[in-house]
Amino acid sequence: MKTTLIISFCFFLMASVVSWADETCMSPYMAKIEGQEDFVYIWTLGVPGVGDEQDKLVTVDVNPESDHYGRVVASLSVGGRNEAHHTGFTDDRRFLWASGLDTSKIFIFDVYTDPAKPRLHKTIEDFVEKSGGVVGPHTNYALPGRIILTGLSNSEDGSGRTALVEYTNGGQYVATYWMPTDSDLQGAKKSGQFADGYGYDLRVLPRKNLMLTSSFTGFKNYMRELGSVMGDEEAMKAFGNTMVVWDLHAKQPKKVLDVPGAPLEIRCAWDKNHDYCFTSTALTSKVWLVYEDKEGDWQAKAVGDIGDASKIPLPVDISISKDDTRLWVNTWNDGMTRLFDVSDPFNARQIYEKKIGEQVNMVSQSWDGKRVYYTSSLLSKWDKQAPVGPDLQYFKGYNFDGQSLTPTFAIDFIAEGLGAPHQMRFGAYALHGVKAASR
């Protein structure tokens, strides 16, 4: 099937383009896939004793018309283990940035020259030095001609105090923007109890000049065994409780919102009349809504429960549908994916659930809502270790008919000698890209 790339810089137009198959949670500034996605690129953690033990970018063919459907077609190792975590395309979709939370290295892959076989284009090894001490590059998010990254920590004390860091698409450092704290609000308004300075994810609503960030925890926690963290009262206090409202164009923090319990992924509504974003809190198992009120001020409100919080399901990744009516929520600890009806954004109501594996982390759904993909790894020192089997470290594809998920393929990443799969990004044969021989 022929695929093309369409570039759109108008956020509100996306909701009207029903033919896009691209993942719904991408930057509005980014080139979008039209038609069936050909590949999923999976940023994968190296695991001791598994394959070459290195972090790698794994490419899986996901086009049902391909002779290689549901199979690994490329694997590119980067040398060593860096705590592979999140990735993001540049706005022109030529390059995929992939970062490591341990070493703070950033690997830039060329995914345009041959979409079936990415190449390592550049490695940034001085992120901490250039940024002024930011550690743990996490979200790699496309702005026009720029990549903005969220940090998780800092080189001074390894806590969650951190910053945003801006680069050019070519990998040149531009600026660092520190998160507001109690001691230095940087002009932001503190609306509640907290101004912790922590970071995690980032999303934007360009038509509202809004940039929104969430918060997690620092190096001293995320590079420590989960059981040890959970058994340490002081460590459990060192998780983020805030989201920050920023002036997108000025990169200026405006308001610090209380969202207790480690708000992780942010997903903003697509419709031009929907001025809100969702997140989920890992420690309190709630869906939160960040919305613009009638006075034009941004507020945060818990709008739904995710499973039984007493059983610590640990909500992780979320994915919003193109029409803003549905929200997939994964809970890592019990391996469940849950679908919420958010057509009333102030009342998130669960309507479906399915167990995906022993653990589940990332979820990516196609723009048309017909395909949903899952990966399993959270963090190297937090992942479950047993039983080792096809439902522990995997990449799985499903069809979704609006009512239920139907499995289409599954790849056991341990059995294949690949490692622990983390974040996914969709790929396609671009207009000037290489066409597959099997098509």
CA 347, distance to chain mean position in Å, is 24
Beta bridge partners of 410: 396
In percent, the amount of the chain with pLDDT more than 90 equals 89
Comparison of pLDDT for 232 and 430, the residue scoring more: 232
User: pLDDT tens digits for 71-113?
Assistant: 999 999 999 999 999 999 999 999 999 999 999 999 999 999 9
pLDDT digits (tens, 9 = 90+) for 152-162: 999 999 999 99
Domain coordinates in residue numbering, the chain: 4-427
Instruction: Check whether 410 has a pLDDT greater than 70.
Output: yes
Q: What is the structure's pLDDT at 423?
A: 97
Whole-number pLDDT of residue 431: 41
Given a cut of 50, is residue 247 above it in pLDDT? Answer: yes
The three-state secondary structure class of 320 is strand
- Look up the CATH number of domain 4-427: 2.130.10.10
In the chain, the amino acid numbered 274 is H
Q: Is the pLDDT of residue 208 over 50?
A: yes
Pair of tokens at residue 182 = 């109690």
| Residue 35 binned pLDDT confidence (cut-offs 50, 70, 90) | confident
CA distance linking residue 385 with residue 378, whole number of Å: 12
Tokens linked to 300: 């945060």
The whole-number pLDDT of residue 34 equals: 75
Q: Which residues contact 72 (CB under 8 A, 6 or more apart)?
A: 58, 59, 60, 411, 416, 418
pLDDT category at 21 given cuts 50, 70, 90 is low
Across the range 47-58, mean pLDDT stands at 98
- Judged against a pLDDT cut of 80, whether residue 115 lies above it is answered with yes
CA distance 62 to 71: 8
Residue pair 317/265 in contact by the 8 Å Cβ criterion:
yes
Q: What one-character DSSP code corresponds to residue 384?
A: -
For residue 220, what are its two tokens?
Answer: 């001293």
Q: pTM for this structure?
A: 0.94
pLDDT in tens, 333-376: 999 999 999 999 999 999 999 999 999 999 999 989 999 999 99
pLDDT at position 387, please?
84
CA distance 308 to 231: 20
Please state, rounded to an integer, the average pLDDT across all residues of the chain: 93
pLDDT on residue 202: 98
d(CA 96, CA 5): 15
Closest by Cα among 163, 211, 156 to 184: 163
> Residue 1 pLDDT > 70, yes or no?
no
Q: Calculate mean pLDDT across residues 116-124.
A: 98
Percent of the chain with pLDDT over 70: 93
Residue 8: is it exposed, middle or buried by C-beta count within 10 angstroms (0-12/13-18/19+)?
Answer: middle
pLDDT at 401 over 90: yes
pLDDT at position 154:
98
Pairing of strands 95-100, 84-89: antiparallel
Collapsing DSSP states into helix, strand and coil, what is residue 254? strand
Under 8 Å CB-to-CB from 390, ≥6 apart: which residues? 410, 412, 415
pLDDT-based confidence at residue 430 (cuts at 50, 70, 90):
low
